[in-house]
Amino acid sequence: MNKYESVIIINPNVDEEGMKALISRFTDLINTDGKVEKVDELGKRKLAYEVKKNAEGFYVVFYFEANTDLIAELERNYRITDEVIKFMTIKQED
């Protein structure tokens, strides 16, 4: 299993309860075929440029170990979730 870091930016109009639901949904998905080591909620920040007509977004970073097959499924879920306006998954070097 490889180590990954995944950053997602969530729509700033999502309430606190919706944020927790999204984070737990993605954490559960990662835990099906991997292991979440840490989740950092960085809070609302100003974006460098507008994304889907949003100037701000909530940043959440997942640190986890997983097989490569899981990354495709995780990113597919990011794409079909309307609240996620931007995402990036990076493989960490040892």
Taking the C-alpha atoms of residue 58 and residue 42, their distance in angstroms, rounded to an integer, is 7
Give DSSP secondary structure letters for the chain: -EEEEEEEEE-TTS-HHHHHHHHHHHHHHHHHHEEEEEEEEEEEEEEEEEETTEEEEEEEEEEEEE-HHHHHHHHHHHHH-TTEEEEEEEEPP-
Helix axes 16-33, 68-80, angle to 10 degrees: 160
pLDDT in tens, the chain (94 residues): 899 999 999 999 999 999 999 999 999 999 998 999 999 999 999 999 999 899 999 999 999 999 889 999 999 999 999 999 999 999 998 6
> Looking at residue 72, what is its pLDDT?
93
This prediction has a pTM of 0.90
Looking at domain 2-91, its CATH architecture is: 2-Layer Sandwich (3.30)
> Looking at residue 62, what is its pLDDT?
96
> Looking at residue 1, what is its pLDDT?
86
> Looking at residue 93, what is its pLDDT?
84
> Looking at residue 49, what is its pLDDT?
93
